[in-house]
Amino acid sequence: MKSVDIIPKSRGPQSCHCFFHSSFTLFFPSRYGCQAHARGSHAEVPVPAPAKDEVLLKLEAASLNPVDWKIQKGMLRPLFPRKFPHIPVTDVAGEVVEVGSGVEDFKAGDKVVSVLSHFSGGGLAEFAVAKKNLTVSRPAQVSAAEGAGLPVAGLTAHQALTQVVGINLDGSGPQKSILITAASGGVGHYAVQLAKLGNTHVTATCGARNIDLVKSLGADEVLDYKTPDGEALKSPSGRTFDAVIHCATGIPWSTFEPNLSTNGKVIDITPNASAMLTFALKKLTFSKKQLVPLLLSPKKENLECLVGLVKEGKLKTVIDSKHPLSKAEDAWAKSIDGHATGKIIVGP
């Protein structure tokens, strides 16, 4: 397969569109067919043209999230994907090669981190277009891989902790006791670090092999989720939790409930039907203990905050593995497997 490595800048912006570039593309049998049969393969596609409010990026890294393969499996029908075939992945870092007519804050050569829309995707490719309002500058201290890890996972952790739990990342405010499940995963490993920037005591769960890593990220106590105490979410120091950032799946409300403080909240980032029922019941009965389903709403200022924290050395991206774009299917399979430690990265 032929691929284009560099857009010759001397030819001017419009010349980009004459070129094709390589991508990992999901093909669906038919628009209304079974998406579970969607298959991924490599394809040459035209370099996209940036709209007025977009920048065209030559990608240096992309990171995978479970939602990417959930789209492929049809778990988010009928919302996603909107177009067929579909280039998956939203979290990218790269260099600006062209800007739309309405873009003033970026220029060719700028290094950036962007979150692409789940509707359009586009991250598993050599080039992608990103909205200017979801693109932030990436300083030299933040590598492309570290930056690409941040968008969906980091923003979800940031939103849960700052907006729902009300934690101040400057360490001010009353102390809160937080439980973070699946603390070794993409969202969880950022959540541990961000929570510890606030005034918190953090209990975390992960598999035995990741206990030392999660402690090194700042967790005060760590439970192996395969032990009886881990399954019961019992704090080793006997604490109850003011908030749970629930990044694992399959844990019922009845397991959380006895471990919550009087006004404790479970922030569920993968709510299933049973969780939605609990959410409704707790609301209707004015329960002090609540389940809060969370859906990420990406914000540029929050992404800027995360990139800034990485630059200052206060937050790091743990990298599970790096895969070349030509082997994107290996990264895809690893994400589906569900045992990543930190972020899975695809590079050129």
Q: By CB under 6 A, name the binding residues for ligand NAP.
A: 65-67, 152-153, 156, 181-182, 184-188, 205-207, 210, 225, 247-249, 269-270, 294-296, 338-341
Choice between 16 and 182, CB closer to ligand NAP: 182
DSSP 275: H
3-class DSSP state for residue 191?
Answer: helix
Choice between 55 and 296, CB closer to ligand NAP: 296
Choice between 126 and 320, CB closer to ligand NAP: 320
- Helical H runs in the chain? 66-72, 144-149, 151-158, 186-197, 211-216, 228-232, 253-256, 273-284, 300-311, 328-337
Whole-number Å distance between alpha carbons of 266 and 256: 8
Choice between 1 and 295, CB closer to ligand NAP: 295
Of residues 202, 149, 196, 144, the one with CA closest to residue 170: 196
The three-point CA angle 148-125-159 to 5° equals 30
Distances (CA, A) of 317 to 50, 72, 264: 29, 26, 29
Q: How far is the CB of 144 from ligand NAP (least distance, A)?
A: 19
Q: How far is the CB of 226 from ligand NAP (least distance, A)?
A: 8
Instruction: Tell me the two tokens of residue 194.
Output: 């961000």
Residue nearest to ligand NAP (CB): 207
Q: How far is the CB of 76 from ligand NAP (least distance, A)?
A: 10
Whole-number Å distance between alpha carbons of 311 and 321: 21
Q: How far is the CB of 271 from ligand NAP (least distance, A)?
A: 8
Choice between 18 and 75, CB closer to ligand NAP: 75
Choice between 96 and 150, CB closer to ligand NAP: 150
Whole-number Å distance between alpha carbons of 150 and 144: 10
Q: How far is the CB of 183 from ligand NAP (least distance, A)?
A: 7
